[in-house]
Structure 1
Amino acid sequence: MLQIGEFAGVTGLSVKALRHYDEKAVLVPAEVDDRSGYRRYGEGQVRAGVIARALRDAGVPLPAVAAVVAGGGARDALSERRRRVLEDRAREDRAFADAEAVVRVLAAPVAVVEREMVAQPFVGQAISVDAQDAGSMSDDDAEAVLAELFERLRASDLGPSGQFWTTLRAGEQGAVEVVCCWPTPVEVDDERFGAEAFSGVVPARVELVATWRPTEGETLPDGATHPAVVALFDALAHRPIDGLRTLEVRQTVLGMSEDDYAVEVAVTVETR
């Protein structure tokens, strides 16, 4: 029999670890003195102790180590641990690359100007998104709504009279709504396009506008806040807005080519 200190020296496990493994039923000593509580290990437990240490050094979870000590399967436990480590490493590599891309894109200058705009009628339709799972909505969802609205406006001889835009607003029960809008030449009745669509007018206003053009080969990670939005809020920090109850950020894409386009983000700073 080996005293706990001797067993620790042979296996490389600390006395503290051995006590913990006993408490968790991972590696139970062969004998425990009833009066002193002193632990003793059998010579045949050395192999299990060495394997337990090797598995723990590799990060194998304690329950899996206990299963190996009880029934074997050390190679399988290591293979499973390696698979999980490689998955985590790949996920971390992607997160690191995305973070580098965000920092790099935000470092590029974005043009921000003020401009005056006349009142603009529009027809819109909202897509409700769970605020806890904003990534559940894709660009394809918005494009489908915009395409349907476009065809209905064309069929009704109501334009559209310009480029679409999207904006966000609070929905019901904590949801967020992505509102897809097309400009129209005249005001339209709400009932014209059914219950899902609605009409409105963006009033005559002064806008603060940020325009971003991508550099060659640059892409934004999925879910990243757009650099034009960040630049717009940087500018708003130095441009107080008085008299507006809500801050509606309108975003549109200028140009139809993947190689030549710009993203424009605007917010009203003064109504006329």
Structure 2
Amino acid sequence: MTATVAIGEFARLTRLSVKTLRYYHEIELLEPVAVAAGTGYRRYSTAQVEQAHLIRRLRDLDMPLPQIRAVLAAADPADRDAALREHLAEMEAELERTRAVVTSLRALLTVPAPAIRVNYLAEPSFTALTFTETVDRGAIGDWCGTAFDQLYQTLTAAGVTPGGIAGATYSTEFFTDDTGAVTAYVPLPTGTEFEPMPGLEISELPARRFAVAVHSGAFEDFDRTYGALGSHVAEHDTVLPGEPVRERYLVGPDRTDNPADYRTEVCWPITEGESR
């Protein structure tokens, strides 16, 4: 047996405020079973209590309202459960990221930055399979995963073995504007010829001289390596204006499941000549 109750009583049953219930009505997320024509008073069924509890829990998990609507509208329990599992997986990933940032912050506050070892590299020009797009800084992790998947899948389909260590170049705008051109690349063996899939190119990366430092571990502390290497260059060398920074992924997600084992070579472009 069910009954109907006024909005104030329904708020007490569900621990959702009257303001929240009115908003959910406006966006058609949780609609009352009846609205009085003259007064506009809302009445809810006690059969809606469980649904209201579900909405409150999902909002406590920061699930976006459109996703909650999809969960409530799912006729198949399997579809509903799949949407809930997807959101929980996203939350778990965010929790891992938060833990990593907290660990990094503690290290920043308590552990002195290790002395950086800077080497110099005169890299000759080379041919690479490349993928270039304008990328937002916050999306770079996902973008790199997709970009390198495409590059390696293309090479595998063409029967081509990579000719060197994969990497990426990052334009100045990527750092100054939080969005800019990024080129993911995989070096090719000399003389390799094939037709890449649309969106990819076979490009010549120019010869450059770099100051180089290796970052070990996950990317939460990447800024410390950038800061130390960039400071060294400012103090001892001359930056090559407008030239992208290169990163080379000595050990990355394709070769280890443990971010602590990542090793990334940061290559800071400098002018030719002796360091000062």
Q: Check the 8 A contact 1:250/1:265 in 2, yes or no.
A: yes
Gaps of 5+ in 2: 59-64, 67-71, 137-141, 172-179, 196-200
The reply to whether residue 197 of structure 1 matches residue 197 of structure 2 is no
Relative to structure 1, the CA distance from residue 244 to residue 130 in structure 2 (aligned partners, 3 Å threshold; closer, same or farther) is closer
Choose the corresponding residue for 2:119, options 115, 121, 128: 115
Q: In structure 1, what is the equivalent of residue 212 of structure 2?
A: 209
2:103 matched to 1:94? no
Q: Retained in 1: the 8 A contact 2:168–2:182?
A: no
Query: How many matched pairs?
Result: 218
Provide Cα deviations, 1:6-58, integer angstroms capped at 9, x if missing partner.
956765478778888998762325x655xxx485x9xxx7xx53233443233
Q: Measured at CA, do residues 8 and 245 of structure 1 come closer, stay the same or move farther in structure 2, by a change above 3 Å? A: closer
Within-5 A mapping of 1:13-24: none
The CA distance in 2 between the partners of 1:144 and 1:78, in whole Å, is 36
TM-score for the superposition, normalised by structure 2? 0.52
CA shift for structure 1 position 208: 2.8
**2:249 counterpart of 1:245:** no
Q: Residue 18 of structure 1 contacts residue 27 of structure 1 at CA under 8 Å; is this kept in 2?
A: no
d(CA) in 2 for partners of 1:128 and 1:83?
34
Identity of aligned residues (%): 18
CA–CA distance in structure 2, aligned partners of residues 262 and 116 of structure 1: 17
Listed one character per residue, the Cα deviations across residues 110-165 of structure 1 (whole Å, up to 9, x for unaligned) are 6632223345232222124563772562544344567769659xxxxxxx6xx434
Q: 1:21 to 1:180 in 2, by over 3 A?
A: closer
Please tell me whether the aligned partners of residues 169 and 179 of structure 1 are also in contact (alpha carbons under 8 angstroms): no
Q: Distance in 2 between matches of 1:226 and 1:20?
A: 39
Match of 1:141 among 138, 146, 150: 150
TM-score (norm 1): 0.52
Aligned CA distance change for structure 1 residues 119 and 55 (closer, same or farther; 3 Å): closer
The 1:79–1:50 alpha-carbon spacing in structure 2 relative to 1, beyond 3 Å, is farther
In 2, the alpha carbon distance for the partners of 1:262 and 1:20 equals 50
* Deviates further, 48-57 or 9-18: 9-18
* Change in 2 beyond 3 A, CA 1:27/1:135: farther
Inter-CA distance 103–140: structure 2 relative to 1 (3 Å threshold): farther
Q: Which residue of 2 aligns with 1:67?
A: none
Q: Tell me, in whole angstroms, the C-alpha distance in 1 between the residues paired with 2:115 and 2:87.
A: 39
2:53 counterpart residue number: 57
> Could you say what the CA RMSD is over the residues aligned between the two structures, in angstroms?
5.3
Does the 8 Å CA contact 1:21/1:27 hold for their aligned counterparts? no
Asked whether the equivalents of residues 125 and 181 of structure 1 are also in contact (C-alpha less than 8 Å), the reply is yes
What amino acid sits opposite 1:197 in the alignment? I
